Structure 1
Amino acid sequence: MIEACPVLAIRRPVRRPTDAQIAAFADTPTSFIVDAMAGQGALAAAIAPLSTELPQAAHGPALTVNAGPGDCLATLAAPAFTRPGDMVLIGVAGHQGCAALGDRVLGALRNAGAAGAVTDGPARDLDGIVTVGLPVWAAGLTPNSPMNTGPGEIGLPVQMGGRQVETGDMVIADRDGVVTVPFDLIDRVIGKLDTIRHLEGERDARVANGLIVTPDIEALLASESVAWVD
């Protein structure tokens, strides 16, 4: 006799950033965090803030959900495993044929204390989502609805927007997009942020004071590394 296969695979979180680590990313632009990771770390540009009527910044530890294309069973179960401050990442393998989430599941995530939600699929029920008020980054909108039959996964690694994300990684999102920081790199990235903030402040001041071309570019233009074409 063939036994029925499980419809959900769930791994309870085994690691989570400390409160101090989470706080270190507050009010930090995603571009600064990318610079601290050698220019990498952002999810695909299609994953963007869903609406200007929602908060445009959020950060917190990842709770990963692999709902699969066209399904939402794992997404419906995710609020049961969401801890206050979590960023819930819902992967649907980039499927664009139907919504990955809507206002009711986002309301449940808000009730569980989630800081925000990110998906590589579209969302639906925008008016309701705005009423819920939870920050959302998604790949657009569609009224099409998913199935809820599974299979799906919660707490296991998920591929999203060109990156693999694991539960416990840091997720930082703003108007520019979504950046993920692998758990093992959190302290290294935090250690670079003050320097990046200082350098960015200096560069902004130079531009505000009339800078046109930086000294290194001026030196390049005066060197033999440039071929002048008549």
Structure 2
Amino acid sequence: MIEAPPTLTIKKDLRRPTEAQIAAFHGAPTGFVVDAMFGGGALSNNIQPIGGGRDLTCAAAGPALTAECGAADVLAVFASLKFIRPGDVIVSSFSAYSGCAAGGDGLIGMMKNSGAAGFVTDAPLRDYDGIVSVGLPVWCTGITPASPHMSGPGAVGFPIQIGAQEVETGDMIIADRDGVVVVPFERLDEVIQHLERIRSAERAQDERVAAGLQVPDWVEQLLASDRVAFKE
């Protein structure tokens, strides 16, 4: 006989990047971070800033605090409020269920009061006007008035699957109007090093474009090589 699971399971040790590691990602565009990961790390593009970012500026960079809710249930994400540290981004897996909301303005207001930097979920939310008034950056899959349950089971602090990526507590979440990117905890220093190189390259490219660049040198070189055939 299958035994009923605990209503909630909470990970005892919640790892977290250093303050220097966290700061290294502040202000970094998500595209730069993806490039620093050689094209990896982006969550599915159906997870977007609420309302497309038209009424609420959505940008955040902070350590993930995960909540595994399961479809139509929000108990775990409410439980996660107790474990938020200032600057955390709560990442809640709702099993990509779209039949009801994964939270509303009350929950998101409590996240902000607890010091969260943002909230990411693979489900719709509710109370759009209230969320805009709260002002916490939020990424979700849409809006619905439908209410969820709050009965569990759920888990806080453990790895979750969301947006075709695995996210663990302590991974870095970088999110802006383009979407959401996760940097695994074990790769933080590596990606930070690559990120500095990407920033430098992007600045140089922007300067060349501002100065009138029309065709990049590498395109000119390719077109002049024997790798390209011109035909009538």
Same fold (TM over 0.5): yes
Paired residue for 2:28?
28
Shift of 1:224: 2.2
Quick one: distance in 2 between partners of 1:183 and 1:42?
A: 15
Residue type of the alignment partner of 2:19? D
1:59 corresponds to 2:58 = no
Correspondence for 1:220 among 205, 222, 226: 222
Task: Answer whether contact 1:64 1:156 (CA < 8 A) is retained.
Answer: yes
Paired residue for 2:134?
132
1:140-159 matches, within 5 Å, as: 140-159=142-161
Shift of 1:103: 0.6
Shift of 1:3: 6.5
Quick one: distance in 2 between partners of 1:158 and 1:64?
A: 7
TM-score by length of 2: 0.94
Quick one: distance in 2 between partners of 1:209 and 1:125?
A: 46
1:179 corresponds to 2:152 = no
| Coordinate RMSD, CA, aligned | 1.5
Unaligned runs of 5+ in 1: none
Task: Answer whether contact 2:173 2:180 (CA < 8 A) is retained.
Answer: yes
Quick one: distance in 1 between partners of 2:38 and 2:142?
A: 29
Equivalenced residues, count: 230
Residue type of the alignment partner of 2:31? S
Residues 153-179 of structure 1: per-residue CA shift (max 9 Å, x gap): 110100010100000000011111111
Deviates more, 1:168-177 or 1:43-52: 43-52
Residue type of the alignment partner of 1:99? A
Name segments (4+ residues, structure 1) moved above 4 Å: 1-4
Residue type of the alignment partner of 2:34? V
Shift of 1:4: 5.0
Identity %: 55
Shift of 1:2: 8.7
Paired residue for 1:75?
77
1:50 corresponds to 2:50 = yes
Paired residue for 1:163?
165
Task: Answer whether contact 2:14 2:157 (CA < 8 A) is retained.
Answer: no
Deviates more, 1:13-22 or 1:160-169: 13-22
Quick one: distance in 1 between partners of 2:46 and 2:3?
A: 40
Residues 109-167 of structure 1: per-residue CA shift (max 9 Å, x gap): 11111111000101100111111111101111111111111111110100010100000
Secondary structure of 1:225's aligned partner:
coil
Paired residue for 1:10?
10
TM-score by length of 1: 0.95
Deviates more, 1:78-87 or 1:189-198: 189-198
Deviates more, 1:94-103 or 1:12-21: 12-21
Paired residue for 2:92?
90
Paired residue for 2:197?
195
Unaligned runs of 5+ in 2: none
1:101 corresponds to 2:103 = yes
